[in-house]
């Protein structure tokens, strides 16, 4: 006859097995949190990430799973409202030698687990449970976490650029399809809710190219050229949201996918990144600049035209002084560019433009 502890351990094992069937990074993060909630019969699980530039003990909530509904639902934190947590209990958990902490509060028990990545604590799993869990169950949770850590390491190896840590070119097709799906949903919702005060915001595709990168390699050597790429990738992570998709396509070309960004603010987002690069002190090289072209994602257009629009805006900037940011739609409205159409696969588009 199984005990409550035995049932929990079995549920953790099944949750770990489910994780191995997933391939998308976001899906792994969500399923990891939901699996813990269901197995532990918790009332709520929050997942935090220790963000770059936030300090070793500062954490930002990615999302949470709650016990309402059928087995727990996941809610993403809103990127533009996400702030670093000042909860001292979370800060203490990042240094816990045992890898987890627990305490009793007015609503039951709170258990906080470290989740490591790349040799350091990367995430914090915060569990709220109405009842205490046995030590053997805590060991089971840690084994479940270890499974997740290994899967995330394998995901990084397969999907990240080895030099910059950004998404690699291989993952572009899958992420592009998801961006198109988001744009289609937003367009349909906009059509159904035209009288709402806050209609869905559009998605955007941007292309970033380092200015005179060949001269950097020729003057300072490829080691310093690689350092420029690494530093620029760090600037990208600092300028864009955690949910934005950042790619390195090889060489000095980078791609940015944004979703749910109002048309009146998207230019300032790209411009903020451009200015951040311009003011960054690159070792030995000094000042480095980049040119950016971007376009709104329309799911009714073929991939070739979407990439081509951002590419056209980029090269307009290259031909008009570099170190600038241009929107395709603005250039068309001003008569500087003419709308063209084309059809091909997303991978063919990537091969053509990069």
pLDDT of residue 190: 61
Strand order in the sheet with 290-296: 245-250, 253-258, 204-210, 290-296, 325-327
Report pLDDT digits (tens) over 18-40: 999 998 888 899 999 999 999 99
| First-to-last C-alpha distance (Å) of the chain | 61
Least confident of 83-92, 127-136, 201-210: 83-92
What pLDDT score does 346 carry?
45
User: What pLDDT is attached to residue 352?
Assistant: 54
* Active-site position among 149, 227, 252, 253: 252
Query: Residue 224: which residues within 8 A CB-CB, separation 6 or more?
Result: 216, 283, 284, 285
Given a contact cutoff of 8 angstroms between Cβ atoms, the answer to whether 22 and 30 are in contact is no
Q: 72 falls in which pLDDT band (50, 70, 90)?
A: low
Q: With 70 as the cut, is the pLDDT of residue 211 above it?
A: yes
The tokens describing 103, both together, are: 């305490």
- For 140-173, the pLDDT digits (tens) are 999 999 999 999 999 999 999 999 999 998 888 7
* Dihedral over alpha carbons 187, 349, 171, 203 (to 10 degrees): -20
pLDDT the model gives residue 334: 94
**Predicted local confidence at residue 68, as pLDDT:** 59
- The answer, yes or no, to whether residue 250 has pLDDT greater than 50, is yes
Active site residue 184: no
Dihedral angle over CA of 169, 171, 172, 174, nearest 10:
160
- Write a three-state SS string for 28-44: HHHHHHHHHHHHHCCCE
Question: Which residues lie closer than 8 Å to 26 by C-beta, 6 or more apart?
Answer: none
Measured CA distances, 101 to 90, 91, 143 (Å): 9, 11, 16
Beta strands per DSSP E along the chain: 44-49, 59-66, 73-76, 84-85, 100-105, 108-117, 120-129, 204-210, 245-250, 253-258, 290-296, 325-327
316: Cβ contacts below 8 Å, ≥ 6 apart:
293, 326, 331, 336, 337
In terms of Cα–Cα distance, which of 105, 70, 72, 74 is closest to 87? Answer: 105
3-state helix vs strand vs coil in the chain, percent to 5: 45, 20, 30
Q: Quick check: 70 and 152 in contact, CB under 8 A?
A: no
Read off the pLDDT of each residue in 242-266 and give the average, rounded to a whole number: 91
Q: Is the pLDDT reported for residue 351 higher than 60?
A: no
Number of helical H runs and strand E runs in the chain: 11, 12
pLDDT of residue 137: 93
Task: Point out the least confidently predicted range of 76-90, 106-120, 282-296.
Answer: 76-90
Q: Where are the beta strands (DSSP E) in 145-304?
A: 204-210, 245-250, 253-258, 290-296
- Quote the pLDDT of residue 90: 85
Q: What is the pLDDT of residues 104-149, one digit of tens each?
A: 988 899 999 999 998 899 999 999 999 888 889 999 999 999 999 9
Residue 4, pLDDT > 90, answer: no
């Amino acid at each position: 006859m199984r005990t409550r502890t035995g049932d929990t351990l079995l549920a953790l094992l099944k949750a770990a097995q489910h994780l191995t069937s997933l391939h998308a990074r976001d899906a792994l993060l969500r399923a990891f949190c939901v699996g813990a909630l269901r197995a532990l019969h918790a009332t709520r699980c929050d997942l935090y990430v220790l963000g770059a530039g936030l300090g070793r003990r500062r954490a930002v909530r990615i999302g949470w799973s709650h016990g309402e509904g059928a087995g727990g639902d996941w809610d993403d934190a809103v990127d533009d409202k996400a702030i670093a947590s000042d909860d001292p209990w979370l800060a203490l958990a990042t240094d816990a030698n045992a890898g987890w902490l627990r305490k009793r509060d007015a609503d039951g028990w709170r258990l906080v687990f470290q989740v490591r990545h790349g040799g350091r604590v990367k995430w914090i799993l915060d569990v709220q449970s109405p009842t205490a869990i046995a030590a053997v169950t805590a060991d089971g949770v840690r084994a479940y976490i270890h499974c997740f850590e290994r899967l995330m390491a394998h995901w990084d190896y397969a999907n990240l650029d080895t030099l910059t840590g950004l998404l690699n070119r291989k993952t572009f097709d899958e992420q592009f399809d998801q961006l198109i799906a988001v744009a289609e949903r937003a367009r349909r919702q906009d059509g159904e809710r035209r009288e709402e005060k806050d209609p869905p915001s559009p998605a955007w595709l941007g292309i970033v190219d380092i200015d005179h990168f060949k001269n950097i390699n020729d003057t300072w050597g490829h080691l310093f050229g690689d350092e420029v790429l690494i530093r620029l990738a760090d600037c990208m992570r600092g300028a864009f949201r955690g949910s934005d998709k950042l790619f390195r396509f090889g060489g000095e070309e980078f791609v940015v996918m944004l979703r749910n960004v109002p048309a009146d603010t998207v230019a300032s987002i790209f411009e903020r990144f451009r200015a951040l690069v311009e003011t960054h002190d690159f070792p030995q090289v000094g000042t480095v600049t980049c040119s950016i072209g971007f376009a709104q994602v329309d799911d009714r257009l073929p991939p070739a035209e979407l990439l081509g629009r951002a590419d056209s805006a980029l090269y307009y900037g290259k031909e008009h002084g570099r170190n600038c940011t241009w929107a395709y739609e603005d250039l068309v409205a001003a008569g500087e560019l003419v709308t063209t159409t084309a059809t091909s696969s997303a991978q063919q588009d990537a091969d053509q433009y990069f």
